[in-house]
Amino acid sequence: MNFDLSDEQRLLEETVDKFLATECAMPRVRELFDDDAGFDEAVWHGLGEMGVLGLHLPEDVGGAGLELLELAVVAEIMGRRATPGPFFEHVLAAMAIDRAGSEAQREQWLPRLASGEARATIAVAEGGASGECWRPEQWQLGDGSALSGEKRFVPHALGADLFVVGLRGGGLGLVESGAPGLATQRLEGLDRTRRLDCVTFEETPCDRLPRGAEVATQVLDAGLVLLAADAHGGGMACVDAAVEYAKTREQFGVKIGSFQALKHQLADMAVEIHPTRGLVWYAAHAFDHLPEEASAAAATAKAHLGDRFVDVARRTIEAHGGIGYTWECDVQFWLKRSLFDWAILGDPNLHRRRAADLLGW
C-alpha cells in the first residue's frame, strides 16, 4: 500500500514547478493573459525539451514510457500556476495516435509530438448548446475521407499542426493544418490562459485512425482526469491565495483573517478542495491499472472537481474584496480556469449521469 507519488514522480513535480516558476511566473502569466497568441512558444518548447509532452508515450517514439498519473502531476502544477497555453489537448491527441494509429501514423507524428516540435489538439464537440456534445455518440462530422462541418471549443487550434477529429460513429481521424477547406476562428473565451477556437472543414481530407472508435472514450477519460488535476491544483492555489490575503490585509485594526466569519469560509474552502487530491490520483491510477473502474473514476473526478473548483474560485474572489473584482488581481485567472475545467469535455452533471450508468445504479 503506497498511495503517494514515487520519488521519481516527486522529482518530476519539482522540476516542472521550478521550470514554470522561472519561465512563466505570475508577471508573465499576466502578460500572456492579455496577449493575442495566449501562450509563450519558449515555455512550450521548454516543456518539450524536458520531455513533459511525451511522458505517456512509448520510448521508441521519443516518449518516457510513463502513464497518465505523471501527466496528471504536471496538469496539477499548471493548474496551480495558471500556466497559459496548450497541454492537455496535445497529450490527448498524441495518446489517441499512439493507441489508435497505424504504424505509419505513429511514426510520422509521435516523435514530433513528444518533443513539441509539432503541436496537436483535439476537435470533438459540435454545436455545444447541449452538454452531450462531447460524447462520441453525438459526433456528426462525416466519416468519409473528406470532412465538411464544424467543430467548436477546440483548445488552441490556431497555430496547431495537427487535429485529432471526432467522427460520426465515434471514430477519430487526423487532419493536418493547411489541409484544403480547413479554417480556424478564435472564440471569445473567458479563460484567456487556454484559448478556444472554432474549426470548420469543407471537403477537407482526413486520415482515419484505424482503432479510433475503440479508444475515443478512453482518450476522453484521460482528458477528464487531466482537467480534474488542473482543477485540484487551481483550487489549492485559490485557498492559498485567500489565506495569504487574510493574513496580510488589515481592517478594523486587525488582520481580516482573525474574523471568524472569514476564517470559517476559508476552512470550508479547505474542506472542499484539500481532500480531492486523492480523488484525482485514484482516477489516474485507475486509468493506468484498473481498466474496469477507469471510466467511472474519471467521470466522478471530473464532475466533483469541476464543481468544487468553481465554488472555491468564487469564494476566493469574494474573500479579496474589491481588489478581487479587478482584471489586475491574479485570482481572476483561477475563476476563469475553473469555468474552463467545468465545461470542457462535459459538465459535471453529464459525467454524473455517466458515472451512475457505469456504476450500474
Partner 1 sequence: MDLGYGTEYEACREQVRVFLRAQWPPRETNAEDATAEQIQSFRRAAVDAGYLYRNIPRRFGGSEQEADILAAQIIREEFGTVRAPMELTGQGPQMLAPTLLEWGTDWQKDHFVRKAIEGEHIWCQGYSEPGAGSDLASLRTTGELRDGEWVLNGQKIWTTHWKRAHYMFALVRTEPEAGKHAGISYLLLKMDQPGVEVRPLKQITGDSEFAEVFFNDARTPADWIVGERGAGWTVSRSLLRHERNMIGSANRSAGLFRSLLRLARSAQIDGRPAVEDRQVREALAAIHGYVETQRCSSYVQLTRELQGRDSETLSLLNKISDTNIGQQVSLLAHRLLGAESALAPRGQPAGRTSGNEKWMNQFMGSLGMAIAGGTSNIQRNIIAERGLGLPRDAAAARDEKP
Residues forming the site for partner 1 (CB under 8 A) = 1-6, 69, 239, 243, 246-247, 254-255, 257-258, 260, 263-264, 266-268, 270-271, 274-279, 281-282, 285, 297, 300, 303-304, 307, 348-349, 351-353, 355-356, 359, 361
In the complex with partner 1, the residue whose CB is nearer, 71 or 279, is 279
CB atoms within 10 A of CB 200: 16
In the complex with partner 1, the residue whose CB is nearer, 76 or 307, is 307
Rounded to a whole number of angstroms, the minimum distance from the CB of residue 265 to partner 1 is: 9
Rounded to a whole number of angstroms, the minimum distance from the CB of residue 272 to partner 1 is: 9
Q: DSSP states of 238-280 as a string?
A: HHHHHHHHHHH-EETTEEGGGSHHHHHHHHHHHHHHTTHHHHH
Rounded to a whole number of angstroms, the minimum distance from the CB of residue 258 to partner 1 is: 4
In the complex with partner 1, the residue whose CB is nearer, 142 or 278, is 278
In the complex with partner 1, the residue whose CB is nearer, 45 or 277, is 277
Rounded to a whole number of angstroms, the minimum distance from the CB of residue 6 to partner 1 is: 7
* Whole-number Å distance between alpha carbons of 193 and 35: 10
Rounded to a whole number of angstroms, the minimum distance from the CB of residue 270 to partner 1 is: 6
Q: Which secondary-structure segment (H or E) carries 153? A: strand 146-155
Give me the residues paired with residue 201 across strands.
149
Q: DSSP states of 293-359 as a string?
A: HHHHHHHHHHHHHHHHHHHHHHHHHHHTGGGGGSTTSTHHHHHHHHHHHHHTT--HHHHHHHHHHHT
In the complex with partner 1, the residue whose CB is nearer, 141 or 355, is 355
